[in-house]
Amino acid sequence: RVARRVVTARSAAPVVDSLLAARRAGGGAPPVVVISTYTMAVPWQGSIGLLPRVAAAFERLAARAPTVHAVFGDPYVVSGVPSASTVLLAWTGIGAAQRAAAEALVGAAPIGGRLPVDIPPAYPVGSGMTRAAVSGGR
């Protein structure tokens, strides 16, 4: 079962609060939360691309629930949600990348890749993994 919630800068904290409340109550909480972000890279700006209040809400969720952070666009956004259990970097927001990421997340497609750059503080160049598609996948 997949539930979708669109989060904006204004709604990030209330959406996270409702997900965490559902986890505490023991009912209706998803076993894994996928946070999907798209930000354009803006070199030399000194920021990670997520508004601080959005990054704080996502980090609060990631610290309390199994979380996959699917990153489309600027890969340095991963530093804004350091507690995510898993990170999937797609590097671009085009439709083909989004479809491939969705298929990979449900096990219908293989995952593989290595970072060509450092993404401080947690991911040195060469970090990555390879995983075959999971039988059945959906």
Candidate from 1-10, 32-41, 85-94, 107-116 with smallest mean pLDDT? 1-10
- Kindly state the average pLDDT of the residues 16-24: 84
Indicate the pLDDT class of residue 138, thresholds 50, 70 and 90: low
Where does the pLDDT of residue 128 fall: very low under 50, low under 70, confident under 90, or very high at 90 and above?
Answer: very high
Q: How far is CA 11 from the centre of its chain?
A: 17
Q: Tens digits of per-residue pLDDT, 69-124? A: 999 988 888 888 889 999 999 988 888 999 999 999 888 999 999 999 998 888 99
pLDDT at position 4 over 80: no
Strand partners, 86: 68
Cβ–Cβ under 8 Å, residues 119 and 113: no
- Token pair 């998803």 is found at 30
- Alpha-carbon distance 123 to 138, whole Å? 29
Instruction: Report percent pLDDT > 70 for the chain.
Output: 90
Residue 61: what are its φ and ψ, rounded to 5°? -65, -45
Q: What pLDDT, on a 0 to 100 scale, did the predictor assign at position 89?
A: 92
Is the sign of the CA dihedral 6, 80, 49, 43 positive or negative?
A: negative
pLDDT of residue 69: 92
What b/e string do you get for 119-131 counting C-beta neighbours within 10 Å, with b at 16 or more?
Answer: beeebeeeeeeee
| Model pLDDT, residue 28 | 66
d(CA 88, CA 71): 6
CA distance 110 to 43: 31
The overall average pLDDT reported for the chain is: 85
